[in-house]
Amino acid sequence: MRQGSTAGQASFEAAWVFALLFLVLIPMIFVFQRYAAGLSQEIAAQQVVVIGNNIVASAETVYYLGEPSRLTLYETFPPGILNLTLLGANELVFTLAGSGEVVFLAPVGLQGSFTASSFSPGEKRISVEASGSAVNITIR
């Protein structure tokens, strides 16, 4: 009879070990998923900062070189860009999911219009071309 109670005690202890393991693991998995999602948004925002800075620097270069100067950039747009617009004469604005807006001020005038395919995820060819008193930006 004594031997049967030790087997029962061992299985009871094993059940408690598994219960405690699940009690610890489930919150850890949840925290990790939330952290990973936030990290991917942060990485996308940093990629947008690099892309925006490259566009503004290229616009300034071709503007001061004058017509018919053109630079072509090849950039990979991350997922999460909701919109891309030009405000005023010199503001390039990326609207991001969850992060708000990222605004780039150019020291030169910017022109261009963008469709949804212009800022969809994936590799894009960005043409930055001097055009009179402004710089024309085309994304394909």
- Predicted pLDDT at 27: 86
DSSP readout, 21-35?
A: HHHHHHHHHHHHHHH
Q: Which two tokens stand for residue 31?
A: 């925290």
- pLDDT exceeds cutoff 70 at 21: yes
Q: What number is the average pLDDT over the span 27-50?
A: 86
Q: pLDDT tier at 119 (50, 70, 90 boundaries)?
A: very high
Q: Report cis status (omega within 30 of 0) of the bond before 27.
A: no
pLDDT at 60: 96
In this predicted structure, the answer to whether residue 125 has a pLDDT above a threshold of 90 is: yes
Residue 4 binned pLDDT confidence (cut-offs 50, 70, 90): low
pLDDT digits (tens, 9 = 90+) for 69-101: 999 999 999 999 999 999 988 999 999 998 799
DSSP letter string over 71-128? EEEEEEEPTTEEEEEEETTTEEEEEETTTEEEEEE-SS-EE----GGGSSSEEEEEEE
Give the residue, 38 or 55, on which the prediction is more confident.
55
Structure token digits, residue 62: 């071709």
